[in-house]
Amino acid sequence: MTAPALAGTQLGYARVSTGHQSLDQQVDALAAVGVEPGRIYSDKLSGTSTREQRPGLAALLDYARQGDAIVVVGVDRLGRNAAEVMSTIRELGERGIVLRSLREGIDTSNATGRMIAGVLASLAELELELGRERRTAAREARKARGQHVGRPKALDASKAALAQRMHDSGESAITIAATLGVSRATIYRILTTADES
- The count of C-alpha atoms lying within 13 angstroms of the C-alpha of 81, restricted to the half-sphere facing its C-beta, is 11
| CB burial string 49-62: b at 16+ within 10 A, e below | eebeebebbeebbe
Radius of gyration of the chain (CA): 25
Positive or negative torsion for Cα 62, 72, 111, 10: positive
DSSP collapsed to 3 states, 110-172: CHHHHHHHHHHHHHHHHHHHHHHHHHHHHHHHHHHCCCCCCCCCCCCHHHHHHHHHHHHCCCC
Set 17, 22, 87, 197: catalytic member:
17
Question: Do the beta carbons of residue 118 and residue 134 sit within 8 Å?
Answer: no
Active-site annotation holds for 17:
yes
Question: Do the beta carbons of residue 64 and residue 4 sit within 8 Å?
Answer: no
List the helix and strand counts (H, then E) for the chain: 7, 5
What residues are labeled active site? 17
